[in-house]
Amino acid sequence: MIKPHGSDKLNPLYVIDAAQRAKLVAEAKNLPSIVISSAAAGNAVMMGCGYFNPLKGFMNKRDALSVAEGMKTSTGLFWPVPIINVVKDASAVKGQKRIALKDPNVDGNPVIAIQDVEAIETFTADEMKMMTQKIFRTEDPEHPGVAAFNSVGTTVISGPIQVLSFSYFEKEFPETFRTAYQIREEMTKAKWNKVVAFQTRNPMHRAHEELCRMAKDAVKADGILIHMLLGKLKKGDIPADVRDASIRKMVELYFPPNTVMITGYGFDMLYAGPREAVLHAVFRQNCGCTHLIVGRDHAGVGSYYGPFDAQTIFHNEVPKGSLEIEIFEADHTAWSKKLNRVVMMRDVPDHKPEDFVMLSGTKVRQMLGAGQPLPEEFSRPEVAKILSAYYQAEDAKAKK
């Protein structure tokens, strides 16, 4: 198992000691407080879990601009995207040195973390524009990540944090939500030394299933970490609980026992394509994974990124030696009618489009919503059944 990013030992910011945590929760009741954004809450959860090791808290303006511009902090730490607590109005905590950060995603806005305030600064319009362009490679307000990034404000509150809660993730996904340190513990118990991680925000069809096997075999891994995003998505994406159920059914029926670990992490999707792929690599290294599958359109949305931009960034922009985790570069995978199996398209140059079983996302949704079976070469029937029930329920709601 490889060491975490930026340190020899994982340093999660969640206060594990129950007595100390209770003391801090009591202290927080008397502290000046502010309700933070969903993105900042996700950042706090990720730092609490150890996924964002070795960060100690939210970046200041200088570090945020440096990370956006050149993927490193002012002290030289490699990091792909700014990890910031940005608000529209910080007047409630102005001049304070210690504040309570309240969770926007849980009823009653309970305290998610305590922050020692080092600075309260403001990004200029030009600085917001630069960060947006560098992180997302576009300033199009229709891009869901761009829209979210530019909607939360321009005032940045920086400083170290102590995390007191994992927001709604632990309660809503008790079987799936795991911290980086828990994943490391489970891998150690399973005696997995070489592990390939698969990132997903979608259900897994036959091509994804086979891609995990291909990667595991290619790198001779001991196991596969299927690591799904549990946070906020754009409209139209399938909810985490439906994805979770379909992935668990696929693994239960089609993978040998003790070869796959199904877990999830609490973070809102950025849809930042290449930069987000690098962030995915950082926090999979913090989980202990030795390899991350990066495929076609990884972490992308629409046509904002080239199909393999998320792979080329590791060659062209990530300085050599910045990360220990290795990237398994995958091509688009699909069922070959000629070979009667799932293949990577780059491996079958003699194939024509009609030689593959391929369905667009729109076509899949239409078929599932109508209760029509998907081709078995495209999706396992047990997975399709779970997804079909979801889409039919959604269609029924829409017609009311």
User: What is the per-residue pLDDT for 330?
Assistant: 94
User: What is the per-residue pLDDT for 398?
Assistant: 77
User: What is the per-residue pLDDT for 154?
Assistant: 98
User: What is the per-residue pLDDT for 363?
Assistant: 81
- Name residues of the chain where pLDDT drops below 70: 360-361
How far from 320 is each of 197, 241, 282, 308, CA to CA, in Å? Answer: 21, 38, 14, 19
Chain Cα centroid distance, residue 135: 15
User: What is the per-residue pLDDT for 244?
Assistant: 92
- How far, in Å, CA of 389 to CA of 371, rounded? 8
Q: CB-based contacts of 63: which residues, under 8 Å, 6+ apart?
A: 73, 74, 82, 158
| Catalytic residue selected from 21, 98, 201, 248 | 201
> Residues of the chain with pLDDT > 90: what percent?
86
Pair 287, 180: CB distance under 8 Å:
yes
User: What is the per-residue pLDDT for 250?
Assistant: 95
Domain ranges of the chain: 18-170, 176-399
Domain boundaries 176-399, CATH class: alpha beta
- How far, in Å, CA of 224 to CA of 256, rounded? 11
Catalytic residue list contains 201: yes
Catalytic residue list contains 43: no
pLDDT in tens, 148-168: 999 999 999 999 999 999 999
| Catalytic residue selected from 11, 109, 193, 202 | 202
Structure tokens at 281: 């690599």
Dihedral pair phi/psi, residue 47, rounded to 5°: -70, -40
Domain boundaries 18-170, CATH class: alpha beta
